[in-house]
Amino acid sequence: MRIEAYNQVAQLYQSSNTKNTTQAAKTNGMGRDQVQISSTGKDYHVAKAAVSEAADIREDLVADIKARIKAGTYEVSTEDFAEKLLSQFGQI
C-alpha cells in the first residue's frame, strides 16, 4: 500500500465529512448569525440622531450678540479676554 494513496483517501473522506456537517448544520438552523443590540447601544443611536439634527450654531445667542454690536452696547472685558488668551496660548 502506498502512503500517497492513503493520504488522498483521507483527504477525500475529510472533505465529504465537512460537507455533510455543513448541510446538517443548515437544516438544524445552526450557523445563523444573530445580532442583539443592548439598550445602551439603542440609547446611543437615538442620542446621535438627535445631535445630528441639532444646529451647530445657536442662532438665538448669535442674534443677541449681533444686535448688541449693532447698537454699540456690546462690551468685552479686557481682563476676561487676557485671561482666556493666556489660557489658550500658555503663560508667558
Report CA Rg, the chain.
35
In a domain, 61, yes or no: yes
Tally of domains within the chain: 1
- pTM of the model as a whole: 0.35
pLDDT band at 22 (very low <50, low <70, confident <90, very high): low
Residue 84 in grid coordinates: 482666556
pLDDT tens-place string over residues 30-60: 678 888 989 998 999 999 988 888 888 888 9
pLDDT at 63: 94
pLDDT at 55: 80
In a domain, 68, yes or no: yes
Decide if pLDDT at 16 tops 60.
Answer: no
In a domain, 63, yes or no: yes
